Amino acid sequence: MLLITFKAGQLQYALEVHKIIEIVPLAILRACVGVPAYIAGLFNFRGAPVPVVDLGRLTGGVPCTAHLSTRIILVPYTAQDGRQRTIGLLAESVTETLDKQASDFTDSGLATPGTPYLGKVAVSASGFIQQVVVEHLLPKELEGMLFAVPEKEAPP
């Protein structure tokens, strides 16, 4: 399987290429009030607002820094209730692809109930690479915020 590799903090992660809509350069994000700190803001993608998750802040508490290789990885996300939305993943060093077999990845051997979005790990020349499981990225409460249905205006 073909993977895109990236860093969040000092750790290296991977995401299957077929699960990616597009990778775009870092852009100006609109801050969001009342959301968890790992929501970096909103990004204008072809006229539509897209929430951006800072993977550095989510995985290790340290926000991603703005480098030439910092990117927003756009992925489709399906909420637990079936609604779909595009979300952005802010990551550093988004510059390489990696071809690995599914069998190259194994469970980490650690129970991490607070991080269901972290998948199996593989060893590469640069160390461990852990898969990101987009389907488990957002807690249910955050899905409620990001997939909010606008209230209809009451008739006069």
Q: Are 39 and 141 in contact (CB under 8 A)?
A: no
Phi, psi of 102 (to 5 degrees): -60, -35
What's the Cα-to-Cα distance from 104 to each of 98, 100, 124, 133, rounded to whole Å?
Answer: 12, 6, 10, 16
Taking residues 132-140, report their average pLDDT: 87
Alpha-carbon gap, residue 91 to 114, rounded angstroms = 20
**83: pLDDT confidence band, cut at 50, 70 and 90?**
confident
Domains and CATH numbers, the chain: 2-141 (2.40.50.180)
Alpha-carbon gap, residue 51 to 86, rounded angstroms = 8
Q: Give residue 3's pLDDT.
A: 94
3-state secondary structure of 19: helix
Taking residues 124-133, report their average pLDDT: 88
Residue 153 has pLDDT above 80, yes or no: no
pTM: 0.88
Taking residues 107-133, report their average pLDDT: 86
